[in-house]
Structure 1
Amino acid sequence: MPPLETIQVFQALNSSPNARLEQSAGLGDGMVAALWNNHHDAQEYQAPSHHTLSCYIAGGTGTFRRNKPSEKGAPGKLCILPAGHESAWVINGEIRLAHVYISPEQFALGCVTLLDREPRELQLCERTFIDDPEQTARFLSMIELDWHEPGERLLTSSLAHEMLSHALLNQVGQRHDLRLKGGLAPHLRRQLVDYIEHRLAEPISLGELASICALSEYHFARMFRESFGLPPHQYVLARRLNYARQLLRAGQQPLGGIAMACGFASASHFNNRFRQAMGATPGEYRLAFL
């Protein structure tokens, strides 16, 4: 998960004497959840490096963006604040709100795997005080969970993944006046995705991926990162861990078998990698979804 000190929206609220953090938790996969109370405050966000999905849980009818004072918040309203945006807020009265912070790497991974698009072509669309009942229901379910209990934190992580997928499918737009330099051609990107997905159980070397694109390993690694938003080894690991989560939720296959099916050298290597990414062992993850 990203360190809290790198999450600018979190830090801005945390430094305010009027805001109170009820709870926060790293959810793995570059996502963090936070639940806040605030009152009679003013906040500014200057080009954060992360994306923020926000839901007003209670209050907020006196909250507005400084440049749009006529538009007010309300319980159930959502705000979508993409990385790089700038906004200034006035909070009159009481407000309770939940946040999910998403790393640009996780957003890029979703662009490739869910949308089959070059991440640099897309942007999360900035929205203020929108109605989205599906997302609001996920937030309301999320705040009922105890994020400090390992099993419920994993359920929270699952809800955060659903929120990101929903945002990718419904609240992403094309970047305008975009001139892409470098990166891989779309047909090569698709070949790589397909090649990796069908070989998750096998060792995958940088050289064999580079050979698909007829590039040197050095140039391939640089162009892969430009097109996928993260280095080749991190992308492959993310897909292996995603497949592992699917298998863990699907049944009672032995953990050693899942480790092999996902291309990990041993059960202990699988255990360590999974715990680093998710904050829980594969066994704990499985129990959370029984």
Structure 2
Amino acid sequence: MKVVSRSVGCLRKIDFADALFRTKGVVPQTSVTFEDPGALGIACVSYHGPVHTFKPANQTYHGIGYRVSGAQTIRIDKPRSFPHGTGRSGMTAIVPATEESAWLSEGPHEMVHFYLASPLVGEVAAEIYGVDGSDVEIQEAAFHIDESIARYAMVFQQRLRDPEPVTELELNAIAHLLSAHLLRRYSNLACRPMSRVDQKLSSAELRTVTDYIEAHLDSALRLSELAAAIGMNQYRFARAFQATTGDSPHKYVMKLRITHAQDLLAASKLSLGTIAATVGFSSQSHMTLAFQRNLSITPGRYRIQTGKFDRDECSGAF
């Protein structure tokens, strides 16, 4: 059996071979591990043949599987009478951290797997329901249609094929969205009223966090440190920041990096690589992709169009 996997995650203590349901031969082609305790792992996997997969019980993550395409998958650790035990393209299955599961896929197929850390789900529950996170129970859900998870899965399937690196701000954003979604639809809290969590940041809070971003723009900013700058938990901060600025933290930081890069391109003869590092892009190619997608121009062409320098004046700076 040949397995091709593309994965990214911030699950420090979950080995990806284990996170991929201990499927023999599944080795991610790419993976990213962040310094903070992990909130979410994502893997896009293509199975080129029939395969048995297994998720052990009592893990630290909830499993969410979305079937993109291919042969059907059958839940084999349940009786034949188990409802919705057969999965086809476009279907989602939820396996709580406490549960084990075993599956048989009958032929080639493609999946997107999310591995959502249980502690994060508890933190989000405490924020939006005002309960002790340890009281949260995520309920198992056999194959079914979930349009929200399908949308997240397809976005990240495409994102993992993208040469632009996935940032921790992006992963934390989707982790919090998935946590809230699981709680609203698949938990023992689903029928409870939610607390109001969409208030805006005060002027002082916004100034503090934007000043922090400016001061640390050259580093790999984390949602946890931005929230900590104003003494707020990550879920509330992400919601309040977007309600205040109109942008997610990730999008705001990306726009700011592009703006600062534009300023340096127009006012200095620094090389593109130096400018990319100065404003926090992971590489010159990362900055080039960001410019092309947001401004429809490369950094080198942008520098020429400013009219302040010609190519001879900035030898090596293009």
TM-score normalized by structure 2? 0.53
Structure 2: 5+ residue runs without aligned partners? 1-9, 191-195, 197-203, 209-227, 258-279, 295-318
Partner of 1:210: none
Task: Evaluate the alpha carbon distance shift between residue 10 and residue 116 of structure 1 in structure 2; reply closer, same or farther with a 3 A threshold.
Answer: same
Give me the whole-angstrom Cα distance separating, in 1, the residues matched to 2:169 and 2:161.
9
1:47–1:85 contact (8 Å) kept in structure 2: yes
AA of the residue aligned to 1:51: H
**Is 1:173 paired with 2:188?**
yes
- Equivalent positions of 1:38-117 (< 5 A) are 38=47, 39-69=50-80, 71-117=85-131
Higher Cα Rg: structure 1 or 2? 2
Where 2:101 maps in the other structure, the secondary structure is: strand
Give me the whole-angstrom Cα distance separating, in 1, the residues matched to 2:163 and 2:175.
16
Give me the whole-angstrom Cα distance separating, in 2, the residues matched to 1:239 and 1:66.
36
Q: 1:130 aligns with which of 144, 151, 162?
A: 144
> How far apart are 1:55 and its partner, in Å?
0.4
TM-score normalized by structure 1? 0.57
1:12–1:45 contact (8 Å) kept in structure 2: yes
Residues 173-226 of structure 1, C-alpha deviations (whole Å, 9 max, x = no match): 159xxxxxxxxxxxxxx9xxxxxxx98989xxxxxxxxxxxxxxxxxxxxxxxx
> How far apart are 1:98 and its partner, in Å?
0.9
**Is 1:32 paired with 2:41?**
yes
Please state which structure has a larger fraction of its residues in helix. Answer: 1
1:108–1:119 contact (8 Å) kept in structure 2: yes
AA of the residue aligned to 1:165: A
AA of the residue aligned to 2:146: D
Question: Of the two structures, which has the highest relative contact order with CA contacts closer than 8 Å and spacing of 6 or more?
Answer: 1
AA of the residue aligned to 2:54: Q
Amino-acid identity (%): 13
Give me the whole-angstrom Cα distance separating, in 2, the residues matched to 1:141 and 1:20.
22
> How far apart are 1:124 and its partner, in Å?
1.2
Structure 1: 5+ residue runs without aligned partners? 176-189, 191-197, 203-232, 255-274
1:112–1:118 contact (8 Å) kept in structure 2: yes
> How far apart are 1:101 and its partner, in Å?
0.9
Partner of 2:225: none
Partner of 2:306: none
Give me the whole-angstrom Cα distance separating, in 2, the residues matched to 1:66 and 1:41.
11
> How far apart are 1:11 and its partner, in Å?
5.3
AA of the residue aligned to 1:73: G
1:31–1:100 contact (8 Å) kept in structure 2: yes
Please state which structure has a larger fraction of its residues in strand. Answer: 1
Residues 133-174 of structure 1, C-alpha deviations (whole Å, 9 max, x = no match): 221122112101136745555685244433332222211115
Task: Evaluate the alpha carbon distance shift between residue 241 and residue 87 of structure 1 in structure 2; reply closer, same or farther with a 3 A threshold.
Answer: same
> How far apart are 1:250 and its partner, in Å?
5.3
**Is 1:121 paired with 2:130?**
no
1:25–1:148 contact (8 Å) kept in structure 2: no
- CA-atom RMSD, angstroms? 4.6
2:62–2:95 contact (8 Å) kept in structure 1: yes
AA of the residue aligned to 1:2: L
Task: Evaluate the alpha carbon distance shift between residue 124 and residue 7 of structure 1 in structure 2; reply closer, same or farther with a 3 A threshold.
Answer: farther
1:48–1:84 contact (8 Å) kept in structure 2: yes
Give me the whole-angstrom Cα distance separating, in 2, the residues matched to 1:9 and 1:24.
14
1:77–1:129 contact (8 Å) kept in structure 2: yes
Task: Evaluate the alpha carbon distance shift between residue 33 and residue 97 of structure 1 in structure 2; reply closer, same or farther with a 3 A threshold.
Answer: same
